[in-house]
Amino acid sequence: MAVFEVKHLGKSFGSLQVLKDISLTVEHGQVVSIIGPSGSGKSTFLRCATLLEQVNHGTMKYMDQVVCEERSGFDHAVYASNSALKKVRTLFGLVFQNFNLFPHYSVLKNIMDAPVCVQKRKSKEVREQAMALLERMGLASKAKSYPCELSGGQQQRVSIARALISKPQILFFDEPTSALDPELTGEILKVIRDLAAQKMTMVIVTHEIDFAEAVSDHVVFMADGYIVEQGTPAEVIGAPKNPRTQAFLRKLNH
Tell me how crowded residue 105 is: count the other CB atoms within 10 A of its CB: 14
3-class state of residue 75 by DSSP: coil
Confidence of residue 252 (pLDDT cuts 50, 70, 90): confident
- Name residue 30's beta-bridge partners: none
CA 187 to chain CA centroid, nearest Å: 18
Domain positions in the chain are: 103-167
> CB within 8 A of 6, min separation 6: which ones?
22, 23, 24, 49, 58, 59, 60, 61
d(CA 137, CA 120): 25
Quick one: DSSP state of residue 247?
H
Dihedral, 129, 131, 134, 138 alpha carbons, nearest 10: -130
Tell me how crowded residue 119 is: count the other CB atoms within 10 A of its CB: 12
List, as one string, the DSSP characters of 7-26: EEEEEEETTEEEEEEEEEEE
d(CA 106, CA 149): 10
Average predicted confidence (pLDDT) for the chain: 92
Q: What is the pLDDT of residue 72?
A: 87
For residues 85-114, average pLDDT: 92
Tell me how crowded residue 106 is: count the other CB atoms within 10 A of its CB: 16
Q: What is the pLDDT of residue 243?
A: 95
Write the CA distances from 44 to 6, 129, 141, 151, 185, integer angstroms: 14, 32, 36, 27, 23
Closest CA to 41 of 202, 177, 247, 226: 226
Q: Burial code of 130-155, b = ≥16 C-beta within 10 A, e = fewer?
A: bbebbebbebeebbeebbeebebbbb
Overall pTM surpassing 0.85 (yes/no): yes
In this predicted model, what pLDDT tens digit does every residue of 201-237 receive, in sequence order?
999 999 889 889 988 999 999 999 999 999 999 999 9
d(CA 119, CA 165): 11
Q: What is the pLDDT of residue 96?
A: 86
Closest CA to 143 of 110, 97, 99: 110
Q: What is the pLDDT of residue 188?
A: 85
Residue 224 identity: D
Q: What is the pLDDT of residue 216?
A: 93
Residue 136 identity: R
| Angle at 47 (CA atoms; ends 43, 26), nearest 5 degrees | 85
pLDDT exceeds cutoff 90 at 180? no
pLDDT exceeds cutoff 80 at 1? no
